[in-house]
Amino acid sequence: MTRHMAHGRESGRRDWLLERGTALLLLLLVPWLGLHLAFLPGLSQAHLADWLHAPINAMALASLILMAALHASLGLRSILMDYIATPSLRALSLLITRSLLVFSAVIGLGAIWLLHTGATP
């Protein structure tokens, strides 16, 4: 076995464990969010801002966004690596995918911050 193959196998194992770990966290965070939203008096910006003033809610929602982005990144990377044979197209696809996921996570975290602090954009 070459050194490159051993590194690839170790990297694959790490990605597999990370993806499973994020899935377990999402299995806890998504129902938590659903239950909290179901019992809010309304889904207006004011109700959500009041709900996000509690640090535990802001932290849990931020964790959900980060875990969802990481989980999606790992899963999409696996799919792209398996099904796109051309190295340059694969690299471009990975770059675009990761860029969109990072952008989405930053927007989500920024929205949480604005609602948590009560700041206006």
Structure confidence by residue, pLDDT tens digits, 70-89: 999 999 999 999 999 999 99
pTM here is: 0.85
Model pLDDT, residue 28:
97
Model pLDDT, residue 44:
87
Backbone angles phi, psi at 105, to 5 degrees: -65, -40
For residue 107, pLDDT beyond 60: yes
How far is 30 from 64, CA to CA, in rounded Å? 7
For residue 9, pLDDT beyond 80: no
Model pLDDT, residue 8:
60
What integer is the mean pLDDT of 76-104?
A: 96
Q: Cα 75–76–80 angle (5° rounding)?
A: 125
Q: Which domains does the chain have, with CATH numbers?
A: 3-117 (1.20.1300.10)
Crossing angle for the helix pair 45-52 and 87-117, to the nearest 10 degrees? 90
Residues 21-71 pLDDT 10s: 999 999 999 999 999 999 998 888 888 889 999 999 999 999 999 999 999
Model pLDDT, residue 4:
46
Model pLDDT, residue 90:
95
Closest CA to 74 of 7, 26, 106, 32: 26
Backbone angles phi, psi at 16, to 5 degrees: -60, -45
For residue 2, pLDDT beyond 70: no
